[in-house]
Amino acid sequence: MIAYEPVWAIGTGRAATAEGANTLIRNVIRPTVGGMFGETLAQGVRVLYGGSVDANNAREFFRQPEIDGALVGGASLNARAFVAIVEAAQN
């Protein structure tokens, strides 16, 4: 499992676009893992997006084919917000 969070998103409240994160995972993370450990592992590894995932944007991240889940930070401190993120993941 790999967690990807843009350095500029750490602690800022800013999130990448879902499409941008998906593209980076597809074009950078999976090929890098493939080069190091083989294509089978690269396609099988689960990649989580972290970086200001919240109840308002989680659904868009979960709709992306390369994003397998979320690394939730500050939004996990609010029970209602976290439940909304979990519900977005289920749909």
What pLDDT, in 10s, does the model give residues 10-61? 878 788 999 999 999 999 999 999 999 999 999 999 999 998 899 999 999 9
Q: Domain extents for the chain?
A: 2-90
Q: What is the CATH number of domain 2-90?
A: 3.20.20.70
pTM, two decimal places: 0.89
Q: In this predicted model, what pLDDT tens digit does every residue of 50-70 receive, in sequence order?
A: 988 999 999 999 999 999 999
Residue 73 token pair: 């930070």
